[in-house]
Amino acid sequence: MTHPNSKEATTAPNHLKIARRGQDLYNRSIRSQVEKREQIGKIIAIDLDTGNYEIDDNFLEAIDRLRSQFPDAVIWSERIGFNAVYAVGGSLTKVDLA
Q: What is the pTM of this model?
A: 0.75
Q: What is the pLDDT of residue 14?
A: 85
Burial grade of 92 (CB within 10 A; 0-12, 13-18, 19 or more): middle
Amino acid identity of 92? L
Please give the Cα distance from 55 to 89 (Å, whole number): 25
Residue 58 above 50 pLDDT? yes
**For position 82, what pLDDT does the model report?**
82
pLDDT recorded at residue 2: 46
Q: For residues 9 and 52, which has the higher predicted lDDT (pLDDT)?
A: 52
Higher pLDDT residue, 42 or 89?
42
